[in-house]
């Protein structure tokens, strides 16, 4: 893994920081990003996070613990600053969930980052966690899922956002929301301007996951 830096060459590998705040799947995510063609740094250094072409926010475990970890390294501020400047951010699993306003787990309600309206709640399924491969319903024009519309991805979760209420205001394009189902329909991925996220784990999803990360890394070149 290399130092995060910006290179003006259109053929240079984009720099991506994996935000290091104590999440357990950081290094597998970093390896997957390298396989997808990125120059990767695992850090919470403010300058590196701001300057990188892309920022990946991983997340495993409880919503409340992930929020606490992010805030301990001021990750919430860094994410907000990047998005305000149109700088790409990709959240994975609980790293996606915390982008919503609230998370409710076992009766405990926690504030999220509030990038999207809505809350994350327990799936209405007979068997939890939702663990294993699942198909997704991809919207037309998706960048993340280009060439992957019929692929399956690997999920490990009991909670998810199950409603989408954000509407685009002109001249901004409408968010692209991908859905999946386990007992009930839930949001599997979102593409909303510079902020994208997946409920599943691309780094555990084999070739399809690497291809999805490659699509995201390639989008950083522009």
Name the residues annotated as catalytic: 93, 201, 203
Distance CA 121, CA 140 (A): 27
Instruction: Compute the distance between CA of residue 211 and CA of residue 36 in angstroms, rounded to an integer.
Output: 7
- Between the alpha carbon of residue 222 and those of residues 11, 12, 86, 211, the distances in Å are 11, 12, 12, 18
For residue 73, what is the DSSP state?
T
Cα–Cα distance for residue pair 127/124, rounded to 1 Å: 9
User: How many C-beta atoms lie closer than 10 Å to residue 6's C-beta?
Assistant: 10
How many residues are given for the chain? 222
What angle, 0 to 180 degrees and rounded to 10, lies between the N-to-C axes of helices 75-84 and 63-72?
A: 80
CA distances from 129 to 61, 107, 145, 182, 209 (A): 12, 17, 24, 10, 20
């Amino acid at each position: 893994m290399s130092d995060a830096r910006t290179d003006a060459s259109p053929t240079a590998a984009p720099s991506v920081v994996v935000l290091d705040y104590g999440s357990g799947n950081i290094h597998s995510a970093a390896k997957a990003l390298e396989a997808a063609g990125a120059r990767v740094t695992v850090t919470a250094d403010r300058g590196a996070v701001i300057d990188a072409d892309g920022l990946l926010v991983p997340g495993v475990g409880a919503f409340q613990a992930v929020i606490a970890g992010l805030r301990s390294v001021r990750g919430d501020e860094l994410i907000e600053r990047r998005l305000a400047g149109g700088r790409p951010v990709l959240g994975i699993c609980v790293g996606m969930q915390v982008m919503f306003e609230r998370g409710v787990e076992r009766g405990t309600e926690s504030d999220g980052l509030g990038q999207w309206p809505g809350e994350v709640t327990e799936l209405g399924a007979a068997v939890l966690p939702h663990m294993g491969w699942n198909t997704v319903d991809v919207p037309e024009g998706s960048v993340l899922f280009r060439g992957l519309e019929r692929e399956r991805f690997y999920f490990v979760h009991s909670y998810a956002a199950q409603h989408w209420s954000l509407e685009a205001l002109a001249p901004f394009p409408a968010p692209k929301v991908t859905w999946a189902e386990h007992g009930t329909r839930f949001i599997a991925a979102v593409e909303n301007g510079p902020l994208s996220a997946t409920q599943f784990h691309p780094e555990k999803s084999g070739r399809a996951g690497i291809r999805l990360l490659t699509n995201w890394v390639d989008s950083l070149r522009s």
